[in-house]
Amino acid sequence: MAIILSEAEAKALLQKVLAYSKADECEITLQGEQRGNIRYARNEVSTSGSLVNQNLAVKSSFGKKTGIATIDEFSDESFEKVVRRSEELAKLAPENPEFMSIIGPQKYLSSKGYFESTAAVNPDSRAAAVGKSLELSRAQNLTAAGFLENETGFSAMMNSKGLFAYYPSTSVNFSLTVRTPDGTGSGYVARGYSDFSKLDTAAATRIAIAKSKGSVGAKALEPGKYTVILEPTAAAVLLENIFFRMDARSADEGRSFLSKQGGTTKLGEKIVDERVNIYSDPLNPDLPASPYSGDGMPQKRMNWIEKGVVKNMYYNRYWAQKKGVEPVPFPNNMIMEGGTASLEDMIKSTKQGILVTKLWYIRTVDPQTLLLTGLTRDGTFYIENGKIKHPVKNFRFNESPVIMLNNLETLGKPERVVSTESERNYMIPPMKIREFTFSSLSDAV
Amino acid sequence: MKRRDFIQLAGLGTGAFMLPGLAMGRTVSPEALMEPGLDVSVKKRLADAALNAAKSQGATYADVRIGRYLNQFVVTREDKVQNIVNTESYGVGVRVIANGCWGFAAVADAKNEAQMAKAAADAVAIAKANSKLMKEPVQLAPQKGFGEVSWKAPIKINAFEVPIKEKVDLLLSVNAAAMQNGANFVNSIMFQVNEQKYFASTDGSYIDQDIHRIFPQFNVTAIDPKSGTFKTRNALSSPMGMGYDYLQTNPADKVTGITTRYNKGYDMLEDAISAAKQAKEKLTAKSVEAGKYDLILDPSHLWLTIHESVGHPLELDRVLGYEANYAGTSFATLDKWQSKNFQYGSKEVNLIADKQQVGSLGAVGWDDEGVNTKKWDLVKDGVLVNYQATRDQVHILGEKESQGCCYADSWSSVQFQRMPNVSLAAGKTPLSVDDMIKDVKKGIYIIGDGSFSIDQQRYNFQFGGQLFYEIKDGKIVGMLNDVAYQSNTQEFWNSCSKVCDERDYRLGGSFSDGKGQPSQSSAVSHGSSTARFDGVNVINTARKI
């Protein structure tokens, strides 16, 4: 049997498994994936591989007791066995006071995240894509280390209340670090697409090469507060810390950056500059995402921060019921609106500042203020009178993305980026920020 | 943790625990975790099928890992059991060298010779496709075969044999104790791992190993709704290469003092009571004044600084540039090692790599490419003397045999260089923590690990902690808030002026150290006694939003 099932095949299989259920309620999820990767360093291929995986999970409930069992072996015999096992586990489980009954049929948006071009990738086409990149770095006597991974998968779910959902998807992620042979320059690029035909490894490589050569001879600047231009790759790893922590329950419980004095939350309050608009949308053509969440809730366009105001937080179904509001699932993508300025325009309009192309090792220092620390990496440059003057040594920063978005100067045009921390893809604009806090220097290149 | 394998549990606030996603494998009944895996004779037959297929397809070397990975999580908050998850992942990974290039293929649930042969053929096909991009063929250090051998972690109580009810009862009693002592919220988790790994290679090794790990942990939150502030205190437990015996408390395993810390037996209930009181105390503790302080670092804290500033920079693959695109490279370049006089730290500093240390997370009999494990010096009397390497890189150090630092986190992941246990040797002169503190004029005593960040070449780092105590004129005078220290690796280790003796030696560790692309997770321990570092830069992390 194929690993990647069509909608009709997935539906037939799920119906067959569901027919075995004797529980009060039953929900089945089905997933399959095929992945391949190629990794290289020192201009040579190092480790590479492929993986095939499939999984079917059955959740059975009796009253408020739930059991989950899964299999990765697909046969009629194992289907009945996995249903029985989940029912046995449910009977043994403690009652869950936060139990929520499964939901009935839903209407989902139609989002195209599956591309034949990506599904057709094989070891030879992967090697060819990487070959184009290696050729360029070798020709200039630079040292390349990179990674290319393609994935084809699908997920489907069905339950005893009649819900059915199906979503096939593909993705390809490419990242590359190019270093000068003496180790004094380093440049990075990352690209993520659903459609492999959009990936131009040579064009991406030229960007990393330019940053690598341009970062040689970095000068030390005093740590302190600077105007910075964050390229989208750098901004994403800071902003996702806001995205991850917009959970209503934590805010209500008083343990979130969205909690307020007196036991209330910042929902409906302006927390950042009014030009900040952040939303999710499974139909975004540049960043398509699954139209349903893990519990079958439909994903639709949702504003999280609108004109700087917190418009929504995530409410799981239990917490929503407790608070008497509509549940809001954790979104499957995140998009920050921007302006029309190009990165070049933003540099041109900067009297004195620092261009940050990538940030690294981001960790939360204080969850109360979302204070984060981390360092610049792979190309940091000093801007003077509208021009890149010279590369600068890397800095450690201590800054909160909330404070940062209050110190907003300009937003550029959003582009799809891959988080170097979470590997998630986002649409993020480049942004100019004043008074960004660098606290010490690093000798790292 | 492999990032995509784990989803963050929403609503836990800071220090949220992670739960497994799809790639952890199937969830199973607790009884299934006790079922034996495949018989060794079956595994040998399957392995031979892959090895033979690889050779017939043109591989010059091949190894096979047949892995069964069991996990159990018991997750609770306050008076509720949130989740009990048992996962089992079984599959096979085949690695080959063909045309001088590595290739790897993995297949889930492989139980017959045809699947093994297919995986081997896929791996060879990948190696051949990629060999077109190769200029230098892989150079593999010779390794003798060990025949049919086995290794078992020396655990006293198999955690998977302990009834789930006992674990649930313990966690709920821990939560109740924390709540009674002033916590507003408490999350607790019991995380247990059993790796059943079978390795075979064309060198003639057939190695069967059984590895256990356990990590009980909690996170306590105290809130002051009036001011809108919250503070947390995490457990002072360590992940250990032990069974449920880690939770058998024993007075001999307790280190008393300003707060109790634990060696090879963890009193979770007692620690939760302290945590609740300390989280509350943090709400009103004094904010630190930034400046230079002498730091007294407890092993429950220092392990992470060792991990980041010694363990990682001395990974030879990083030094050579194999991790340049992700984890980074290293300041500890080969010329510094070759000089034989690179002063990594002060004379007090002896850092040791050890894959055999009993009770540690990194202990095994053989690594994941069939090399028997060892113990060796990395930094001796302050001087850099060695690295951590695998078979395809050790020739660069002029060594004939690998140090045995190869690991894969799953049958589905390709094995590569991972950190052995790296520890700071205890001081040779008798010295207690109390005596160490007596000499400090202006200092901070740090217990427990907190926020951590270091650059990609491992120069500049910043660490937080769980508990900070101000030391003035040889005495602890109170608790501090908003503390983080920043330093440079070489400067920091050269500021090490004293290390307590072996009576204070304890293991800390990382349950989920990330490295590689696709990212893999490994577990590793770091031992030390309490140590003193002079004149370290401390910053104040308080902000207003």
The CATH number of whichever domain residue B153 belongs to comes to 3.30.2290.10
CA distance A238 to chain B (A): 14
- Do residues A350 and A229 make contact, with C-beta atoms less than 8 angstroms apart? yes
Residue A269 lies inside a defined structural domain of this protein: no
Residue A288 lies inside a defined structural domain of this protein: no
The reply to whether A226 and A105 lie within a common domain is no
Give the domain extent around A205. Answer: 7-212
How many domains would you assign to chain A? Answer: 2
Helix, strand and coil in chain B, % to nearest 5? 25, 40, 40
Helix, strand and coil in chain A, % to nearest 5? 25, 40, 35
Taking the C-alpha atoms of residue B99 and residue B60, their distance in angstroms, rounded to an integer, is: 8
Taking the C-alpha atoms of residue B25 and residue B40, their distance in angstroms, rounded to an integer, is: 22
For residue A88, the chain B residue with the least C-alpha distance is B29
Q: Average the pLDDT over each of A295-304, A416-425, B85-94, B286-295 and give the range with the smallest value.
A: B85-94
- Do residues B28 and A70 make contact, with C-beta atoms less than 8 angstroms apart? yes
How many domains would you assign to chain B? Answer: 2
Q: Does B1 touch chain A (CB under 8 A)?
A: no
Which residues 470-499 on chain B approach chain A with CB closer than 8 angstroms?
482, 484, 486, 488
Neighbours of A101 (CB within 10 A): 11
CA distance B427 to chain A (A): 31
The reply to whether B160 and B302 lie within a common domain is no
Q: Give the one of A45, A93, A176 whose C-beta lies nearest to B325's C-beta.
A: A176
Q: Does B64 touch chain A (CB under 8 A)?
A: no
Q: What is the 3-state secondary structure (H, E, C) of B126-145?
A: HHHHHHCCCCCCCCCCCCCC
The reply to whether A177 and A35 lie within a common domain is yes
Cβ A261–B228 below 8 Å, yes or no?
A: yes
- Give the model's confidence band at B286: pLDDT under 50 very low, under 70 low, under 90 confident, else very high: very high
The residue among B445, B534, B423 whose CA lies nearest residue B487 is B534
Q: What interface predicted TM-score (ipTM) does this complex get? A: 0.94
Rounded mean pLDDT, B386-410: 95
- Give the model's confidence band at B10: pLDDT under 50 very low, under 70 low, under 90 confident, else very high: very low
Residue B114 lies inside a defined structural domain of this protein: yes
Give the domain extent around B342. Answer: 287-540
* Category of A207 on φ-ψ map: left (φ > 0), alpha (ψ -120 to 50) or beta: alpha
pLDDT in tens, A200-209: 999 999 999 9
- Do residues B461 and B489 make contact, with C-beta atoms less than 8 angstroms apart? yes
The reply to whether A65 and A76 lie within a common domain is yes
Taking the C-alpha atoms of residue B70 and residue B33, their distance in angstroms, rounded to an integer, is: 7
The reply to whether A217 and A163 lie within a common domain is no
For residue A72, the chain B residue with the least C-alpha distance is B26
- Give the model's confidence band at B12: pLDDT under 50 very low, under 70 low, under 90 confident, else very high: very low
Cβ A445–B457 below 8 Å, yes or no?
A: yes
Cβ B3–A423 below 8 Å, yes or no?
A: yes
pTM: 0.95
Residue B266 lies inside a defined structural domain of this protein: no
Q: Give the one of B130, B451, B453 whose C-beta lies nearest to A48's C-beta.
A: B130
Cβ B331–A52 below 8 Å, yes or no?
A: no
Joined together, the tokens standing for residue A165 give: 């959902």
Residue A113 lies inside a defined structural domain of this protein: yes
Q: How far is CA B354 from the centre of its chain?
A: 13
The reply to whether A115 and A193 lie within a common domain is yes
For residues B226 and B505, the model is more confident at: B505
Which residues 429-448 on chain B approach chain A with CB closer than 8 angstroms?
none
Q: Give the one of A69, A93, A398 whose C-beta lies nearest to B28's C-beta.
A: A69
Residue B9 reports pLDDT greater than 60: no
The reply to whether B322 and B198 lie within a common domain is no
Q: Give the one of B29, B453, B462 whose C-beta lies nearest to A89's C-beta.
A: B29
The residue among A211, A213, A230 whose CA lies nearest residue A347 is A230
The reply to whether A49 and A156 lie within a common domain is yes
Taking the C-alpha atoms of residue A280 and residue B323, their distance in angstroms, rounded to an integer, is: 33
Neighbours of B341 (CB within 10 A): 9
Residue A425 lies inside a defined structural domain of this protein: yes
Which residues 396-425 on chain B approach chain A with CB closer than 8 angstroms?
412, 414, 416
The reply to whether A116 and A158 lie within a common domain is yes
pLDDT in tens, B131-149: 998 888 999 999 999 999 9
Q: Give the one of B28, B223, B543 whose C-beta lies nearest to A400's C-beta.
A: B543
Rounded mean pLDDT, B109-113: 88
Query: How many angstroms separate the Cα of B62 from the Cα of each of A316, B391, B531?
Result: 48, 13, 45
